[in-house]
Chains A and B, each alone.
Chain A
Amino acid sequence: MQITIFISTVLLLTLMGYYMGRSRAVKAVNGNVPRLHSLPRHYGYYVAIWCGLPAFVVCFLWLSFETQIINSLILSGLSNVTSDLSSAAIARILSDIKFLAVNASGNSASNPEMVRAAERYNDLHQLGTAGLAISILVVAMLGLLFGRRAVTEKLKARNIVEKAIGYVLLASSIVAILTTIGIVASLLFEAIRFFGMVSFTDFLFGLQWSPQIALREDQVASQGSFGAVPIFAGTMLISFIAMCVAVPVGLMSAIYMSEYATPRVRALGKPVLEILAGVPTVVYGFFAALVVAPTIRNFGDSLGIEVASESALAAGLVMGVMIIPFVSSLSDDVIRAVPQSLRDGSYALGGTKSETVINVVFPAALPGIVGAVMLAVSRAIGETMIVVMAAGLSANLTANPLHAVTTATVQMVTLLVGDQEFDSPKTLAAFALGLVLFCVTLCLNVIALRVVAKYREKYD
């Protein structure tokens, strides 16, 4: 592992820088430490920052772009690579070259040009690694020397170090923004490529979804069709079933826990709901596929109703169970935020507890509960593993919960797991679905958070 060696070398140099800076500061005032502007260790930090930070930045940039630089260099040297080759073909050539490069003694039957390219790849890779090693060392040493020279009695080391730390803190908080930008950019970029191949209206309003593209051009349906309406309908059907379970159960348990339950029941109920929230979704998916779906099918058989083995009902029910704790904990917060005085007023007029809850607490908490339900819906739409394991793959446009339907997340997983070609609409369709998913959940979340925040202010 060369990278580990680089990083540990830089870390070692940084540590060295710390001690050098410290001792130099003490020496600069002949051991009379109080004469220094800052504490000796601040001078140490100062030199360490000069030594380590630039080296890490170089290392990081290199690692981020090494592959692309080498790939483009290799490709520019190949005669059979022309601009009209698809990106999949280029990726195949590259992986062939890399395979040859690793198995240097490989078969002699392969194209001599490829062998040369593989050698070139090895050379470039070694050159790159050596270059990185040297540049990191040089940058670290230069930083070390510069930092060490700058250490004097008057140097305001603490202020500078604190400023640098301030920037590091700022950079950390920008990571969150970069993540969002990365998500939006990657989704938009691939989705725009997709909409270059399939028209936007066909995607949003088309009724036929069959992304499998035939191998030969002249086969039937060689184009594939990307009408996403059945997928959206399936997603909504499953989410609706989930909500039918989660909202009543979650809401009633929240009301019971905050209004009726004795402390002992509360102490028992909260952890149970938390367990429900902590179970990984893949476990729910396994449960849905193995237990719930067959049970529903057998039950349907005994009544003489035909139920698909991957019915929307099974996936929806289990998803609903998964979302119960989400609804209940959010509505619990909201219900507890309703001031006691409102309840007392109702009791004083002779209202029973249930009348108080229904006529006073619930209306007062309604905006918050609506927000909670919206957050839960967005959770249901984006849930993946349960539907991947328990819902169907074929896109049927139906509202019958006993039939198999598919969802956006299921399609994204099936389109992207396995071999990928980044220039076929089949793969890119997943990103278009992802974009729709992201936009819908984002809207739901923004509105819900607004509603909840507004509501909280009202009684604060």
Chain B
Amino acid sequence: MTELKQSMQIAHARLKKRRAAEARFKYFGVAALSFAFLCVATLFTNIISNGYSGFQQTYVEIDITFDEAVIDPSGQRDSAVIHSADYKALIKASMRNKFPDVSKRRELRDLYGFVSSGAIYELRDMVINDPSLIGKTQKIWVMASDEVDMLIKDVFKRSEPESTRPVSNQEISWIEAFEGEKRIEKRFNINFFQAGDSREPEQAGIRGALVGSALTMLVTLALSFPCGVMAAIYLEEFAPKNKFTYLVEVNINNLAAVPSIVFGLLGLAIFLNLFGMPRSAPVAGGVVLALMTLPTIIIASRAALKAVPPSIMEAAIGVGASKMQAVFHHQLPLAMPGILTGTIIGMAQALGETAPLLMIGMVAFIADVPGTPVDPATVLPVQVYLWADSPERAFVEKTSAAIMVLLAFLITMNALAVMLRKKLEKRW
């Protein structure tokens, strides 16, 4: 009797242990999954909290006297003279007028650096568009410098001691003077979407990178989509089952796993050095990315073609179509949603790719917006990389804002792919 009791107890104890082990194992799973969730959440909150302020920019209103003696001393309204006039002097004069008690050299330099160095181009364009401004005094909103911008956005804290803060107490007193008159405010940063790259954070924009990305993607799509689909059709429908076909298939699977930077080396050695393609140009980048996305598109297209039931092909051949006609008139259109889904996913990968483009020189500082695929350009992810390397604090929010734009594109593309799959794909 006691023996039975004992063994029951042992069994109970063991059962308890086993149940505990079971619960523990389950919690490991929950913990792993929560860790992944946490990573996504941290990543996104971090990027968004750093980046949302990048879509805003601080502007200050200053009184500018368009002094004829500075802009056009001869009074002939010669456009070349107006174009090359010293607009910086106008800003300096305006700032001196506003804060007359500043006299030390260092302080004056800080004062002149209060507004963005890009403001002079704004003034110049105003005068060129309307020469009648010369001689008048106007209130004009101009961009503030990045340090003022950072302080207004509370990235540089006013409560910090002056020694650790990049903005001096005096500059804060100027900002407060502007604030008292409500002549400093944050606005939507339209410049961020209209300007090319710049060394000055407040003037830097992603227009150049966006256009560069668009041109690169265009080249990539134009090459990889037809080539990938045709290769898939060949391998799925026409290829004889021999050693060569097997070699091609193995090859494609391996290419899909080759590190992307190796494609960059290929582009550098073959396309740039051997074929003499222009450096830093979207056409070279597009070709390299096309080769990189090709395996993705081929694999997705083959799966889509395979999913079309053979009965459709057989019916077409039964009523007299040739195999080529059956494939191109029936199988391919039916497989198109799947093919397009795969293509969009491949393009999304290509859009986020950075490493191979560094190899072919798309990492240069380019302020101009590219016009054609052979102009030097950069792309969005490379712009992120370039800005991330910049020491100015204001570039952190620019980088995060650019990442937000990039992620928005990627999410849109992936959502489109999912929608396409749900809407158009047939279940046979």
Contacts and interface: CB of A to CB of B under 8 A. Distances in A.
Contact of B39 (A276, A290, A385): A276
A384 B252 CA distance: 22
A416 interface: yes
Contacts of A250: 32
Given A278-B348, A283-B384, A416-B268, A187 B262 contact: yes
A256 B29 CA distance: 5
Interface in B369-412: 372, 381-382, 384-385, 388-389, 396, 399-400, 403, 406-407, 410-411
Interface in B250-276: 251-255, 257-266, 268-270, 273-276
A269 B226 CA distance: 34
Contacts of A85: none
B121 interface: no
B298 A176 contact: yes
Contacts of B388: 282, 285-286, 289-290, 389
Interface stretch (B16-24, B181-189, B308-316): B16-24
A79 B263 CA distance: 38
Contacts of B46: 287, 291
Contacts of B400: 286
Contacts of B396: 290
Contacts of A291: 42, 46
Interface residues of B, number: 89
Nearest to A265: B33
B13 interface: no
A158 B359 CA distance: 46
Contacts, number: 261
B406 A283 contact: yes
Contacts of A172: 226-228, 230-231, 234
Nearest to B385: A282
Given A176-B231, A269-B33, A449 B253 contact: yes
B385 A285 contact: yes
Given A280-B354, A282-B352, A383-B259, A175 B37 contact: no
Contacts of A150: none
B251 A180 contact: yes
Contacts of A261: 33
B71 to A, nearest CB: 31
Interface in A168-213: 168-170, 172-177, 179-180, 182-183, 186-187, 189-190
Nearest to B34: A253
A352 B26 CA distance: 11
Given A354-B26, A442-B258, A413 B32 contact: no
B98 to A, nearest CB: 37
Which one of B263, B381, B388 has the greatest number of beta carbons of chain A within 10 Å?
B388
Contacts of A249: 32, 35-36
Interface in A89-131: none
A441 B259 contact: yes
Contacts of B273: 422
Given A173-B234, A183-B266, A375-B257, A282 B381 contact: yes
A253 B29 contact: yes
A7 B406 CA distance: 33
A345 interface: no
Contacts of A71: 276
Contacts of A180: 251, 254-255
B67 interface: no
A446 B255 CA distance: 11
Interface string A259-281: 11100010001001111101111
Nearest to A91: B273
Contacts of B47: 283, 287
Contacts of A388: 355, 358, 385
A357 B25 contact: yes
A422 B260 CA distance: 22
Interface string A435-460: 00110011001100100000000000
A175 B293 CA distance: 12
Q: Please list the 10 inter-chain residue pairs (A to B) with the smallest Cβ-Cβ separation, ordered nearest first.
A: A382-B259, A256-B29, A67-B276, A280-B352, A186-B269, A252-B32, A354-B25, A384-B355, A169-B234, A172-B230
25 contacts: A63-B275, A162-B322, A169-B238, A172-B226, A176-B295, A176-B298, A177-B247, A177-B251, A180-B254, A187-B265, A187-B269, A252-B28, A276-B39, A280-B353, A282-B381, A289-B388, A352-B18, A352-B22, A354-B21, A384-B259, A385-B354, A388-B355, A388-B358, A438-B258, A438-B259
